[in-house]
Structure 1
Amino acid sequence: MSTLGERIRILRKQQKLTLENLAGTELTKGMLSLIENNKANPSMESLNYIASQLGVEVTELLEEISGQELRNVIDQAELLLNTKNYEFADEIEQVKNLIEPYIPKLTQGYEATRLLDIYGRCLAYSSPDESVALLKKVARMYEDLHLITKSADIGRNLAIIPFMNHHYQVALDVLLEERKKLEDNPLWVDPLSRMDYDYLEAVLYFAVGKNEEAIQVMNDAILYCNEHKIFKQIDNLFRLASTHAMMEENIERKDYYLKKLEAYSEFADDEDSKAFIHYANLHYLNTYKKMYIEADALYHKFSLDQVNIKLFTHYFQLERAKTLYGLGRVTEALEKFIEVKIPDVVHHPIDLSIFYEKDAYIALCYLELNQVEKALFAVKISMTNIEKMPDTPYKKFIHTTHEKVMMRL
């Protein structure tokens, strides 16, 4: 946070003015230098003159934190949060440490509201209750600025916080309540914001096992995207649709949505979508078809080295381990399964269920190696994790594996 003199100097240099240029006819170069170095305080008349020369309001100079300084902090924070590192606890802490010194001075205006917004979202990872309280305040600040779309974003984040803590029904209730408030507001007509709500609503319906409602919202959203030529969230909707079709073993629909996603990925040059398509095909061969030779060949067509997005790394490792197990390379498979970690950002019960299969596979590997006690220990972990998850093929596989281990005992 800068002093008055520093703010004047920063603005002067940004406008490429010399001391002589800024001093003009009303001040001496020496006096202006003293002011910039905080060795002299300007009179109100001099301050008005300096503000006029710089083309800003006097309040911009008098505020302890200038708008430009806050914009610089926002840029730094957003740069950290836009990292492709999906295990980004360090970045979250850096952003919190960057913003915290400014918190007591943030009162009003867009820059202050935006910084409180970013800080509130970062708090969600360590202090969910504090995050909710702050974000509700930020929503009101955005409304006072007539930024309804920004306020709508806050509403979504209020639902994401319980979702991150695996309180799926609470998350859905919050989202539906926030959506109703928005739809009752005649000023909310933003189609992009609507797509964000549609996608999250479909995700949360799937999370609580209300598949029919999820499919209806998802299909309506895809139709809306097509009718209005909107691409926001369309990739995520295609991923969601293809995943559900795979779980239903509707191969025609799975292929249809993956082809749609492939067309989008080529159009948008989207690496995330390309990686997902490859992962989905691997997952289908391993999990639903048990075609391990084909999965092995497909894996080598798209090396993990090509996957720059760290989110997918453990998904691919899990599929590689399944393939190795299916090919009878049990020791290699066991080593690979043990390496697999659940990424920090994975919270959806379907994704979690996929990862919870890992310990069931570890149990099967131990059975193959005649280490029954270790198999029992591993499958119990899987059973505990999957208990509160909705019914899926992954949950069924874990229960079947548990029965197999118990029979060996």
Structure 2
Amino acid sequence: MSTLGERIRTLRKQQKMTLEALAGTELTKGMLSLIENNKANPSMESLNYIASQLGVEVSELLEEISGQEVREVLDQAELLLNTKDYDFLNELEQVKNLIEPYIPRLTQGYEATRLLDIYGRCLAYSAPEESVTLLKKVAKMYEDLHLITKAADIGRNLAIIPFMNHQYQIALDVLLEERKKLEANPLWIDPLSRMDFDYLEAVLYFAVGRNTDAIQMMNEAIQYSSEHKIFKQIDNLFRLAAVHAMMEEDAGKMAHYLKKLEAYSEFADDEDSKAFIHYANLHYLNTYQKMYMEADALYHKFSLDKINTKLFTPYFQLERAKTLYGLGRVFEALKIFDEVKIPDIVHHPIDLSIFYEKDAYIALCYLELNQVKKAVNAVNVAINNVEKMPDTPYKVFIYTTYEQVMIRS
């Protein structure tokens, strides 16, 4: 924890000022040296003078952490958050450890509030209740700074916390309540913030099985984006629309949204969107058309070198294993199924249900090998996992597979 003298010396050196320059006409070089070495305490008059010479507020000298320090820590935190190493939980831990020592010393102002905001979000996985308490405090701090859009973003994150803990109805209730409060505030007019809320609301409606509401919100958001030429969240909305069309087995509509997503990916040079398009087509061939030879050929047409490995690799592994099962290459399929792990950042019940299919496919592989007991064990894992998920084609597949296995047991 830095002392007053250390803060004065740090600011002086940052501004490349000599002791003589900072002492000016009101202090001696010797007295200033004593102050910097904490061997003398300046009077309030001297402190005001030093602050004026340094071009800072007196409060910055008196705070246990200077504004400059806060800005430097914030810059480091933002840099870590914006660096794509694809290890989400490790990234959060690094940011949390960076900020944590400064938390007791943060007071007010935008930079301090932003640091508390980031720290609160980092706590969402490890300490959700503490995260909610802190983020509510941060939202009030943003409101006091008249940063309504930032406060709105906090409201959205308050809904994401229960979502990450698979409390989907609670997440939706929180989001709708936060949105209601925001829409009552005439200062909340930011269209980018609205797109964030629209997308998350559609996602949460799908999560609780309110598909009609989800489709309506999704379509309204896409239309609003088109009318106002706003592209924030449009890639996610196109992905959502394509997945819904796929589950409805509407190949034309799915192709329509994937084509829009392809145009966006070219415009934004977005590798994740390109990877998703390839995955969606592969998934459709395997899951909905059972065209395994075509899926095999398609798999080899796309380079996986540039993909977000932590997110997409498990999806592609799962599809590859499904293709191999369909081609009768059961042992190869089982080996890859065993490698599939659900990514840390996957929480939506539709995504989870896709991964829960893995154990149903493992059961089918064991049936092919006449290892019925292993098939029963595997399909029971799938049933237990998917039981509380909303109805989807993936849930139907798991239950159908369960019946098939039980007939053989």
Normalising by structure 2, what TM-score? 0.96
Q: Which moved more, 1:187-196 or 1:41-50?
A: 41-50
2:158 corresponds in structure 1 to 158
2:192 corresponds in structure 1 to 192
Q: Within 5 A, what are the aligned runs for 1:10-409? A: 10-409=10-409
Give 1:297 deviation, angstroms: 1.6
Q: Which amino acid aligns with 1:216?
A: Q
Normalising by structure 1, what TM-score? 0.96
**Cα distance in 2 for residues equivalent to 1:16 and 1:275:** 50
**Cα distance in 2 for residues equivalent to 1:370 and 1:20:** 89
The one-character-per-residue Cα deviations of 1:272-328 (angstroms, maximum 9, x if unpaired) are: 111111111111111111111121121111132231442111111111111111111
**Cα distance in 2 for residues equivalent to 1:80 and 1:191:** 27
**Cα distance in 2 for residues equivalent to 1:269 and 1:38:** 55
Unaligned runs of 5+ in 1: none
Q: Which moved more, 1:34-43 or 1:140-149?
A: 34-43
Q: What SS does structure 1 have at the residue aligned with 2:26?
A: coil
Q: Which moved more, 1:36-45 or 1:285-294?
A: 36-45
Give 1:407 deviation, angstroms: 1.3
Give 1:112 deviation, angstroms: 2.2
Q: Which amino acid aligns with 2:120?
A: G
Q: Which amino acid aligns with 1:260?
A: K
Contact 1:60 1:67 in 2 (8 A): yes
The one-character-per-residue Cα deviations of 1:205-235 (angstroms, maximum 9, x if unpaired) are: 1111111111110001001001111010000
Give 1:154 deviation, angstroms: 0.9
Q: What SS does structure 2 have at the residue aligned with 1:306?
A: coil
Q: Which amino acid aligns with 1:164?
A: M
The one-character-per-residue Cα deviations of 1:5-51 (angstroms, maximum 9, x if unpaired) are: 22222222322323333233333444433333333333333322221
Give 1:371 deviation, angstroms: 1.3
**Cα distance in 2 for residues equivalent to 1:83 and 1:341:** 23
**Cα distance in 1 for residues equivalent to 2:174 and 2:77:** 27
Q: What SS does structure 2 have at the residue aligned with 1:124?
A: helix
Q: What SS does structure 2 have at the residue aligned with 1:344?
A: coil
Q: What SS does structure 2 have at the residue aligned with 1:111?
A: helix
Q: What SS does structure 2 have at the residue aligned with 1:305?
A: coil
RMSD of equivalent CA atoms: 1.6
Return closer, same or farther for 1:83/1:358 CA change in 2, 3 Å cut-off: farther
Give 1:86 deviation, angstroms: 4.3
Contact 1:86 1:345 in 2 (8 A): no
Give 1:85 deviation, angstroms: 4.1
Identity over the aligned pairs, expressed in percent? Answer: 84
Q: Which amino acid aligns with 2:398?
A: I
Contact 1:8 1:36 in 2 (8 A): yes
**Cα distance in 2 for residues equivalent to 1:306 and 1:88:** 17
Q: Which amino acid aligns with 1:310?
A: K
**Cα distance in 2 for residues equivalent to 1:309 and 1:15:** 44
**Cα distance in 1 for residues equivalent to 2:143 and 2:227:** 30
The one-character-per-residue Cα deviations of 1:323-370 (angstroms, maximum 9, x if unpaired) are: 111111111110100100001110101000000001111111111122
Unaligned runs of 5+ in 2: none
**Cα distance in 2 for residues equivalent to 1:32 and 1:296:** 75
**Cα distance in 2 for residues equivalent to 1:297 and 1:71:** 52
**Cα distance in 2 for residues equivalent to 1:325 and 1:32:** 78
**Cα distance in 2 for residues equivalent to 1:229 and 1:18:** 53
Contact 2:6 2:37 in 1 (8 A): yes
**Cα distance in 2 for residues equivalent to 1:110 and 1:305:** 40
Q: Which amino acid aligns with 2:263?
A: A
Q: What SS does structure 2 have at the residue aligned with 1:304?
A: coil
The one-character-per-residue Cα deviations of 1:361-391 (angstroms, maximum 9, x if unpaired) are: 1111111122111111111000000101111
Contact 1:139 1:151 in 2 (8 A): yes
**Cα distance in 2 for residues equivalent to 1:87 and 1:347:** 16
**Cα distance in 2 for residues equivalent to 1:39 and 1:289:** 80
**Cα distance in 2 for residues equivalent to 1:80 and 1:342:** 24
For these two proteins, the number of residue pairs brought into alignment is 409
**Cα distance in 2 for residues equivalent to 1:407 and 1:189:** 59
Q: Which amino acid aligns with 2:347?
A: H
**Cα distance in 2 for residues equivalent to 1:324 and 1:243:** 23
Contact 1:360 1:382 in 2 (8 A): yes
